[in-house]
């Protein structure tokens, strides 16, 4: 599937004429039927994905952007063997109905989770309780409350760590149904 994604990405970017830019293509992959569907194409690098790239390649593309902006030649390494991770993905914690937030994790609780799972980065998207999820920036169909980035040597390891972190993190939130 990786070769198919790489080739379709090359064809797509060449076809739309995107040149001299860091960009990202977000795919939804179905490994059961070996299909990939494009969610979106950004003609700029999404900061959400910079840490994912760095986890696998050892270099943060935002550093390259800064180098270019000051006229310096960015350095790109070809050998990624120094990084312990082959996979990294971003999981969005979400619900499909608006909820009233009664409790959110404390910063110390999130820090403790990240300490237990060092290859995970947890981003709480809710600033304070006693609000609705709809009070925060959301997509059209769901209500997001956290983002969990997980790196691992294998895809299985990434999924296991994500499941553990997600379960523990979800226990730190309390939601009630939104009043109609």
Task: Read off the tokens for 166.
Answer: 């997600």
Domain assignments of the chain as residue spans, ordered by start: 1-44, 49-83, 87-177
Q: Taking 80 as the threshold, does the pLDDT of residue 140 lie above it?
A: no
Provide the whole-model pTM.
Answer: 0.78
Q: What's the average model confidence in pLDDT over 132-156?
A: 91
Q: How confident is the model at residue 59 (pLDDT cuts 50, 70, 90)?
A: confident
CATH number of the structural domain 87-177: 3.90.1170
Q: What is the DSSP letter of 154?
A: S
For residue 72, the 8-state DSSP code is: P
- pLDDT of residue 83 exceeding 90, the answer is no
Question: Looking at residue 43, what is its pLDDT?
Answer: 81
């Amino acid at each position: 599937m990786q070769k198919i994604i790489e080739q379709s990405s090359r064809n797509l970017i060449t076809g739309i004429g995107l040149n001299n830019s860091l960009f990202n293509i977000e795919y939804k992959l179905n490994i059961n039927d070996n299909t990939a569907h494009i969610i979106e194409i950004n003609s700029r690098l999404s900061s959400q994905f910079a840490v994912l790239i760095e986890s696998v390649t050892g270099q943060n593309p935002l550093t390259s952007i800064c180098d270019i902006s000051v006229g310096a030649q960015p350095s790109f390494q070809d050998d990624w063997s120094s990084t312990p991770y082959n996979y990294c993905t971003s999981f969005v914690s979400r619900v499909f109905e608006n909820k009233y937030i009664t409790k959110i994790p404390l910063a110390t609780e999130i820090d403790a989770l990240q300490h237990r799972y060092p290859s995970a980065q947890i981003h709480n998207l809710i600033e304070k309780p006693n609000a609705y999820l709809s009070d925060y920036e959301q997509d059209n169909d769901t209500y997001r409350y956290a983002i969990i980035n997980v790196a691992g040597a294998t895809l299985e390891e990434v999924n296991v760590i994500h499941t553990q972190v997600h379960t523990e993190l979800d226990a730190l939130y309390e939601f009630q149904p939104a009043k109609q």
